[in-house]
Structure 1
Amino acid sequence: MNWLLILHIVALLFWTALLVYLPALVSGTVYTSSETENSLVLRQRLPRLLFTHVATPIALSSIIAGTLVFVVYHNIGIWLIIKLTLVVLLVINHALLGLLILRAESGSGKPVRRWCLASALVTGTLIIAVLWVVLSKPPFESIP
């Protein structure tokens, strides 16, 4: 059963790494006129490719493995509810990053760099919060 926990942790590491990397990649999609057409096409398609074919499947495998860990080990507590809430916020951030990639691809001239920075900061904050909740399992007071 430890393989489930290892799969969950490894998938979570890759998912959160991509959630930090993709905003940097998207913000770097401001093109100069000196770029060749091939490099321009690659830089436009790479964020979407990584998002749809790498980040999303890894996120799903992390969530499925985490759910199976919960079912197998029967770890129930207030800390788990808080962790799941933080994971839901990570999923929302993941979806918003997909919208940000679409906005950057549209080329409408709307600035996306600030949103990329915000996405990376939110991701970093959520990662730290999840790690704190899971590793310390603080004794949250139960609601009467």
Structure 2
Amino acid sequence: MVGIKALHIAALVIWCGGLFYLPGMFMLHPRASDRADFHRLRMLTRFTFAFIVSPAAVIAIISGTALVHYRHASGEWLMWKLLFVCLMVFFHLYCGGLVARLGRERNAHGRSWSAALLAVPSLLIPLVLWMVLGKPTLLSGILPFVAAP
């Protein structure tokens, strides 16, 4: 159990770091000085996405699912945490689409768009952390038909 938790945390750190790193790499593409520079940066971005960030995401999700199963975790906080993790997965897939587009288009989006992408992991990752560490009850005070645990 401790090994699964350590694996989950390590994979999560790599995945979350990658979700911050990829938009930063997208910001560098328009600044490439020549074709060779752009090609090197594109290969580095593809390698980072395909061989570092994506495997870490898969390992984080599988090990997290195992932890939920073994600990019999439940509660409103878990539902919200899983929702935010799903949003992280969608953002990951969106970044993958941008990486794929880099092969066809030099500037898929401008530099300011890539900088704005940093807002997504900046919001989602702390929300997931808050759900795990705080286990808050969000709806019990708002909706009268939701009972507090």
TM-score higher than 0.5 here? yes
Q: Is the 8 A contact 2:23 2:118 kept in 1?
A: yes
Q: Quote how far apart the aligned CAs of 1:110 are.
A: 4.4
- Structure 1 residue runs of 5 or longer lacking an equivalent are none
CA contact (8 A) 1:100 1:112 kept: no
User: 1:101 Cα deviation (Å)?
Assistant: 1.7
Contact kept in structure 1, 2:29 and 2:107, CA below 8 Å: no
Structure 2 CA distance for aligned equivalents of residues 4 and 112 of structure 1: 40
Match for 1:128 among 93, 101, 126? 126
- Rounded to whole Å, the distance in 2 between the matches of 1:10 and 1:92 is 21
Distance in 1 between residues matched to 2:133 and 2:123, nearest whole Å:
15
Percent of paired sites with the same residue: 33
Residue 57 of structure 1 is matched in structure 2 by 55
1:108, distance to aligned residue in structure 2 (A)? 5.1
Residue of structure 1 equivalent to 2:93: 95
Q: Secondary structure of 1:65's match? A: helix
Q: C-alpha distance in 2, partners of 1:107/1:124?
A: 27
**Which moved further from structure 2: 114-123 or 17-26?**
114-123
CA offset at residue 103 of structure 1? 2.7
User: Quick one: distance in 2 between partners of 1:90 and 1:109?
Assistant: 24
1:49-77 alpha-carbon deviations (Å, 9 max, x no partner): 11011111110000000000000011111
1:1-144 superposed matches below 5 A: 1-30=1-30, 31-33=32-34, 37=36, 39-107=37-105, 109-140=107-138, 141=140, 143=146
The answer (yes or no) to whether the contact 1:104–1:112 under 8 Å persists in 2 is no
Number of residue pairs matched by the alignment: 141
CA distance in 2 between counterparts of 1:23 and 1:15 reads 13
Unpaired runs of at least 5, structure 2: none
The runs of at least 4 aligned residues of structure 1 exceeding 6 Å deviation read none
**Which amino acid in structure 1 is aligned with residue 82 of structure 2?**
L
Contact 1:4–1:65, Cα closer than 8 Å, also in 2: yes
